[in-house]
């Protein structure tokens, strides 16, 4: 079940009445960026659009055990897995990713992410910035907020910035970022909560089902009553446009259809593998079908979709690094390969960019629990699509995978590349924050990765 900004509730506050907090949430978020200016831009936007899918692996997956194998290192570093050849000569990855290996020509591996903040949260993967850095008034926008602000909506029925981010037990693993100083109207429209399975039939907006939303008369009566309660000065004037857009989205079938996997070809959906609805401890569930949902959302009009998948923090006393890798890696391999295959089959590989990463890498040396601890000094990401020059590895770490030894890459360089793929000229964008200070998508010395252009 998907809970949109809330859950079903019983009693008078469920179907017939929106609470004050609920209404402010709907109006403030404008459902992911559909403010008036965005809607006006949407009328001028071609239906063929660029998009980004941001896959976050909560907890910090092991770079050495996945895409940066170290077969020549001592056993206490190289671990239990062997590298396998890919369809690109000279590139090897972990043996548990055979599908990706056979289509490595469609991927880019960045093995030298060098500036992981070290915080156990999604922030850097959502914004490209370090949470420890000084924040501007209002905070840094998530990547999708920048895209929403600069490019607007493709269609009124689908927000440009969407989150498929589960609310995780470790709260910071489930945060898709905010609109920051760009405003709440560009915050992500997050369609997931603590329910694992997607179903358009069970989508709710603080207790108001989609069926109930079709009863516009009753809904308007609820809204009108709330407006009388809230209307002090000019408060409601700023909320009216947002509320209109909220109703426009939720009363259209376009978003619901994109989220409804019963409308997907069963043979295509089967490629992604079998989902597991159980939350992985304090992380997200193994919902591989959300990789397909992300593709359906960008096809429907979303410009930026962020998702969290499973839990990748395995270094405790249970010594689960290698057993969990044997469980998780093949499922991830199948889902990612299916997503990229789908994009190519649909002719979307030039328009849709994919990035997959975690907040940091893992210690090269295996600890006493046969696991790997947090290691911000080295990290990696996997990229695909976006018209990039694929079939290559960017950067390298030293023999034991301790730190980048060639071509260090910053998170902001990856975001700069994604923005470029999406058709944004990062050098021409300057936005003033709430204090009047000019701000930019990335720092002044950051450019898109030249290797993939």
Q: Which residues pair with 308 in a beta bridge?
A: 56
pLDDT for the residue 248:
59
pLDDT in tens, the chain (453 residues): 233 333 333 333 333 333 323 333 333 333 434 443 443 344 443 446 999 999 999 999 999 999 999 999 999 999 999 999 999 999 999 999 999 999 999 999 999 999 999 999 999 999 999 999 999 999 999 999 999 999 999 998 899 999 999 999 999 999 999 999 999 889 999 988 887 764 443 344 434 444 544 454 555 555 555 455 445 444 444 345 455 556 656 557 788 899 999 999 999 999 999 999 999 999 999 999 999 999 999 999 999 999 999 999 999 888 899 999 999 999 999 999 999 999 999 999 999 999 999 999 999 999 999 999 999 999 999 999 999 999 999 999 999 999 999 999 999 999 999 999 999 999 999 999 999 999 999 999 999 999 999
Tokens of 408: 């260090």
Query: Could you write out the three-class secondary structure of 199-218?
Result: CHHHCEECCEEHHHHCCHHH
Listed residue (198, 203, 152) closest to 30, CA to CA: 152
Listed residue (73, 277, 242, 251) closest to 166, CA to CA: 277
CA separation for the pair 235, 297 (Å, rounded): 33
Tell the burial category of 157 from Cβ atoms under 10 Å away from its Cβ (0-12, 13-18, 19+). Answer: buried
Contacts of 298 (CB under 8 A, 6+ apart): 51, 53, 305, 348, 352
pTM > 0.75: yes
Fold of the domain spanning 3-452:
Alkaline Phosphatase, subunit A (3.40.720)
Tokens of 204: 């709710």
Mean residue pLDDT of the chain comes to 84
pLDDT for the residue 247:
60
Domain boundaries, the chain: 3-452
Report angle CA 327, 124, 109 to the nearest 5 degrees. 55
Listed residue (123, 260, 244) closest to 197, CA to CA: 260
Listed residue (423, 424, 411, 345) closest to 383, CA to CA: 411
CA separation for the pair 402, 413 (Å, rounded): 21
CA separation for the pair 68, 375 (Å, rounded): 14
CA separation for the pair 200, 416 (Å, rounded): 34
- The number of C-alpha atoms within 13 Å of 326 and in the hemisphere containing its C-beta is 7
pLDDT for the residue 218:
55
Listed residue (319, 322, 324) closest to 367, CA to CA: 319
Report angle CA 116, 117, 118 to the nearest 5 degrees. 95
At residue 127, what are phi and psi to the nearest 5 degrees? Answer: -115, -25
CA separation for the pair 156, 237 (Å, rounded): 20
Strands 204-205 and 361-362: unpaired
Residue spans of alpha helices (H) in 356-440: 411-421
CA separation for the pair 289, 339 (Å, rounded): 10
Instruction: Classify each residue of 14-47 as buried b or exposed e, where b means 16 or more C-beta atoms within 10 Å of its C-beta.
Output: bbebbeeebbbbbbebbbbbbbeebbebbeebee
Strands 379-385 and 404-406: unpaired
pLDDT for the residue 195:
75
Tell the burial category of 152 from Cβ atoms under 10 Å away from its Cβ (0-12, 13-18, 19+). Answer: buried
């Amino acid at each position: 079940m998907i809970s949109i900004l809330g859950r079903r509730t019983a009693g008078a506050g469920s179907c017939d009445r929106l609470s004050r907090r609920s209404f402010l949430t709907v109006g403030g978020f404008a459902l992911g960026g559909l403010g008036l200016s965005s809607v006006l831009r949407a009328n001028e936007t071609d239906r063929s659009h660029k998009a980004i899918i941001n896959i976050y692996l909560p907890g910090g997956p092991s770079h050495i055990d996945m895409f940066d194998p170290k077969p020549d290192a001592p056993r206490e570093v190289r671990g239990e897995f062997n590298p396998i050849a890919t369809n690109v000569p000279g590139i090897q990855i972990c043996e548990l990713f055979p599908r990706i290996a056979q289509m490595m020509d469609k991927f880019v591996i960045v093995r030298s992410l060098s500036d992981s903040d070290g915080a156990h949260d999604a922030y850097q993967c959502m914004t490209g910035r370090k949470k420890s850095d000084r924040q501007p008034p209002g905070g840094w926008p998530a990547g999708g907020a920048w895209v929403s602000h600069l490019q607007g909506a493709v269609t009124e029925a689908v927000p440009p910035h969407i989150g498929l981010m589960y609310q995780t037990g470790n709260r910071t693993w489930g945060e898709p970022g905010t609109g920051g100083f760009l405003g709440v109207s560009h915050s992500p429209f997050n369609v997931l909560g603590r329910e694992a399975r997607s179903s358009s039939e069970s989508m709710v907006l603080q207790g108001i089902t989609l069926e109930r939303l079709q009863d516009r008369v009753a809904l308007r009566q609820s809204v009108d009553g709330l407006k009388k309660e809230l209307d002090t000065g000019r408060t409601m004037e700023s909320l009216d446009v947002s509320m209109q857009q909220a109703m426009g989205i939720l009363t259209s079938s376009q978003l619901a259809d994109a989220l409804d996997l019963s409308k997907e070809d069963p043979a295509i959906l089967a490629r992604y593998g079998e989902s597991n609805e159980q939350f992985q401890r304090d992380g997200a569930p193994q919902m591989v079908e959300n990789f397909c949902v992300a593709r359906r959302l960008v096809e429907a009009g979303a410009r930026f979709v962020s998702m969290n998948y499973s839990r990748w923090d395995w270094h405790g006393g249970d010594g689960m690094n290698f057993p969990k890798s044997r469980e998780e890696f093949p499922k991830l391999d199948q889902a990612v390969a299916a997503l990229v295959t789908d994009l190519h089959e649909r002719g979307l590989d030039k328009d849709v960019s994919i990035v997959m990463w975690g907040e940091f890498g893992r210690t090269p040396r295996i600890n006493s629990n046969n696991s790997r601890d947090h290691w911000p000094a080295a990290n990696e990401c996997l990229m695909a699509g976006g018209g990039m020059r694929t079939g290559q590895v960017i950067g390298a770490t030293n023999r034991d995978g301790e730190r980048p030894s060639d071509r260090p890459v910053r998170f902001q360089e990856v975001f700069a590349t994604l923005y470029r793929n999406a058709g944004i000229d990062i050098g021409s964008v300057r936005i003033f924050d709430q204090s009047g200070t000019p701000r930019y998508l990335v720092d002044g010395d950051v450019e898109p990765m030249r290797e993939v252009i």
